[in-house]
Structure 1
Amino acid sequence: MKKLNFLIVMDDIATINYKKDTSLAMMWAIAERGHGLAYCGIHDLWLDKGELCVDKQDVEVFKNPDNFYRLSEKSTVKATEFDVILMRKDPPFDMNFLYALHLLEYAKRAGVLVANDPSSVRACNEKLFATQFSELMSPTIVTAKESHIRSFIDEHQDVIVKPLDGMGGMGIFRLMADSPNIGSTLEMLTQLETLPIMAQKYLPEIKDGDKRVLIVGGKVVPFCLARIPQGGETRGNLAAGGRGVAMPLTDAERAVAEKVAPTLVEKGLYFVGLDLIGAKITEINVTSPTCVREIDEQCGTTIAVDFIEFIENLVK
């Protein structure tokens, strides 16, 4: 196996959760397979005469919660010194995130494998991209207009509304036909009808969990993480207090994931988190999907290793 040089672009490594972080699992897999590994943040990417440069730090990683990484001094190299760049910066998908994707395209054009593909990450908003598979979703509209959303609520009686750029369950509201705060909620989320939002028919199957299905190199991982709402909460997101329980995919869930997988590979989206409620797609996470550690721990899978093996074969 040829030794590859990996760069991982991510949030400050000092701030990650040792027990749960998926990027850390990827770094362990890279190291265990004998590859070179460097690390940087998005502000360490810069252009010089049309070439992408990186202020990188070499990183060693350890399976020790008290001492899980060691960084070298920063040095500047051209992006072409790397065979693979993993873009693992967490949302929010703001202008800084967008600029980083633009910069990573310079590496891609120079022949570096960037995963996930930066142009596809830029094009595939995690909420809107799902609507390309609308037949696999709960009834859904996207609009800034309160009148359309009110009609949708009248039709379906029980609806979830959410911003198009949220993460971790932020900004998600459940509105029923008799809710007293429909007007104020929609005014806030649409910023007085200037910003489109998503409205979806409520799926009561949320009680069984908002299920994260991972698709790695076009292959559907046979287990998912069901994020189950707690204490009367509508949202199952772990960041909103949901409980994570790994379980095998149902036949219906697998069938949905298998329909989406080929499109992901075509777009260079090699590590993706598909969110399902009742075997219906709610969103398709392409930025820095998580839940690897919980599924591996509960089911004995090796998802990060599988991903790095896929990348090795792709570079070959």
Structure 2
Amino acid sequence: MINKIVAIQGNHPSKLNPLTDTSIFLANEIQKKNYKIFYYEPKNISIINSKVIAKGFFVKFNYNKKNICKILRKQKLDLLKCKFILIRQDPPFNLEYISTTYMLDTINDKVKIINNPTSIRNISEKFYSAKYQKFMPNTIFSQNLNEIKNFFKANKKVILKPVHSFGGNDIYLFSKFNFKSIQKLLKKHGFMMCQKFLPKISNGDKRVFIINGKISGAISRVPKKGSFLSNMSKGGKAINTILTISEKKISKKIASDLKKENIFFAGIDFIDQKLNGDINVTSPTGLKTLYDLSKINLAKTFWKELKA
């Protein structure tokens, strides 16, 4: 009999915003079915005597209490004792990230891991979108200054994003090619995603939630005044939205492809009906926000589709 334990590999709970965090929202829902929640950070996973061991703590979440997260006990846990493991840390996609996926690969056939560690290692959140460029604004992936300069000539206003960053961090808007600044960015980040700026971002973007190959819901996020970043961590405001025929068609195609790639839960973003090129497969966010806006509970859908 497998223990009713859900392990969450994530950022330390003290770094989460409990009122909006999707990991807590998912954990809170599965607790109702008498599952215990074990929480650990990526740095605290090891392979010892051929077992994948994590040092962490059992926690209880309760939205009705002031202190939403209560630590019950600290413990080392053999992750084979879990029914499910959720990989929920923020990228960046770095060597620690890659190493944890290799470790979890060793038990991938015995425990249900969401998202599949092999798949998230193979699917770069930005590079994966290269196959969907016909649905995107003009975009190149490069660290070559001449290629980027040519792209500026053709597109004027350009957004630059490091390909392995996340959450609206290190995103820059340039109105013209600035050799020194861009050279500095390339030195720091390596490959960049360069994209034609879409001024309609001021009306917001749309985040589409994909669960088990199906479009499950969407919210819109409007940047604060004077900003071009819609991420809620950067001050964006969430509102209800509906998808256009075009957005549904593109989302359906990507949802189907992700299911074939063994990705169970993902978030994709649109600006002005164009895919913006972030295919969020590590730690998609926004489920609690959707619930607060509309009372649609996709945490229930998530666990139902997983047959928990």
1:304 matched to 2:303: no
Separation in 1 of the partners of 2:34 and 2:163? 40
- Show structure 1 runs of 4+ deviating over 6 A: none
Query: 1:231-266 CA deviation, whole Å, 9 max, x = no partner?
Result: 222222222222222212222221111010011112
How far the C-alpha of 1:43 sits from its partner, in A, is 2.4
Query: 1:12-46 CA deviation, whole Å, 9 max, x = no partner?
Result: 11332121010010011110122232221212311
Separation in 2 of the partners of 1:284 and 1:311? 21
1:182 matched to 2:178: yes
Q: Does the CA-based 8 Å contact 1:226-1:246 persist in structure 2? A: yes
1:252 matched to 2:251: no
Distance change in 2, residues 1:191/1:51 (3 Å): same
1:26 is paired with a residue whose SS is helix
1:273 matched to 2:267: yes
How far the C-alpha of 1:226 sits from its partner, in A, is 1.7
How far the C-alpha of 1:204 sits from its partner, in A, is 2.4
Deviates more, 1:298-307 or 1:87-96: 87-96
Separation in 1 of the partners of 2:173 and 2:61? 42
The one-letter amino acid paired with 1:42 is P
Query: 1:132-163 CA deviation, whole Å, 9 max, x = no partner?
Result: 21222112111111111111111122221111
Alignment of 1:1-316 (within 5 A): 4-109=4-109, 111-176=110-175, 179=176, 182-191=178-187, 195-222=190-217, 224-282=218-276, 283-312=278-307
Q: Does the CA-based 8 Å contact 1:217-1:270 persist in structure 2? A: yes
How far the C-alpha of 1:87 sits from its partner, in A, is 0.7
2:11 is paired with a residue whose SS is coil
- Taking structure 1 as the reference length, what is the TM-score of the superposition? 0.90
Q: Does the CA-based 8 Å contact 1:10-1:40 persist in structure 2? A: yes
Separation in 2 of the partners of 1:65 and 1:150? 54
Separation in 2 of the partners of 1:65 and 1:14? 16
Separation in 1 of the partners of 2:76 and 2:167? 34
The one-letter amino acid paired with 2:183 is E
Structure 2 unpaired stretches of 5+: none
Separation in 1 of the partners of 2:3 and 2:273? 40
Q: Does the CA-based 8 Å contact 1:162-1:189 persist in structure 2? A: no
Separation in 2 of the partners of 1:165 and 1:258? 25
Separation in 1 of the partners of 2:146 and 2:72? 56
- Taking structure 2 as the reference length, what is the TM-score of the superposition? 0.93
Q: Does the CA-based 8 Å contact 1:38-1:59 persist in structure 2? A: yes
Structure 1 unpaired stretches of 5+: none
Separation in 1 of the partners of 2:248 and 2:115? 22
Q: In angstroms, what is the RMSD of aligned CA positions?
A: 1.9
1:125 is paired with a residue whose SS is coil
Separation in 2 of the partners of 1:198 and 1:186? 12
How far the C-alpha of 1:65 sits from its partner, in A, is 4.6
Separation in 2 of the partners of 1:9 and 1:264? 21
How far the C-alpha of 1:279 sits from its partner, in A, is 2.0
Deviates more, 1:61-70 or 1:252-261: 61-70
Separation in 1 of the partners of 2:173 and 2:56? 44
Separation in 2 of the partners of 1:64 and 1:226? 27
The one-letter amino acid paired with 1:99 is S
How far the C-alpha of 1:114 sits from its partner, in A, is 0.6
Separation in 2 of the partners of 1:261 and 1:205? 25
1:80 is paired with a residue whose SS is helix
Q: Does the CA-based 8 Å contact 1:115-1:268 persist in structure 2? A: no
Query: 1:207-234 CA deviation, whole Å, 9 max, x = no partner?
Result: 2212211111111123x22221222222
Q: Does the CA-based 8 Å contact 2:201-2:272 persist in structure 1? A: yes
